[in-house]
Amino acid sequence: MDTQANHHILFFDGDCGICQWSIKFVIKRDKNRVFSFAPLQGEQAQLIPDQYRKIDSLIIQTPDGYFQKFEGVRYILKLLPGFPWPFLALLANLCPKFIGNFCYDRVAQIRHHFRRENCELLQQEDRKRFLP
């Protein structure tokens, strides 16, 4: 990410197995390297405005503001290149926000039942995308 205009930080629960899997999913598909990543328990997350700081939700900081829960997932899908991700984002737009957030919250309630994955060695270029 060279410029502030392309600055997208995906904040995630560092103690959550599903969250860790999701970050790996995004890294693998983020060919344009749009996203940086930071754990909600880290230093960078302390800069998130209080109204967005929720440990039970991913938070994405974008040039357009902050998005969380279902809206955050939609935003991420929109920015991932290639089929089917932007198409899935368009389909997600058909789903009312309250239904999307309801489903997101159900998964968030059980996310700690999934085992955290062992730290996988990332490529050096991917490790640079993680913020403290």
What tens-digit pLDDT sequence spans the chain (132 residues)? 344 446 899 999 888 888 888 999 999 999 999 999 999 999 999 999 988 877 678 999 999 999 999 999 999 999 999 999 999 999 999 999 999 999 999 988 887 776 655 555 567 778 788 888
Q: Of 103, 5, 14, 106, nearest to 59 (Cα)?
A: 14
Give the integer Cα–Cα distance in Å for 89 and 74.
Answer: 5
Torsion of CA 9, 104, 67, 130, to 10 degrees: -10
Selection from 40, 37, 63 nearest residue 122 by Cα: 37
The reply to whether omega before 84 is within 30° of 0 (cis) is yes
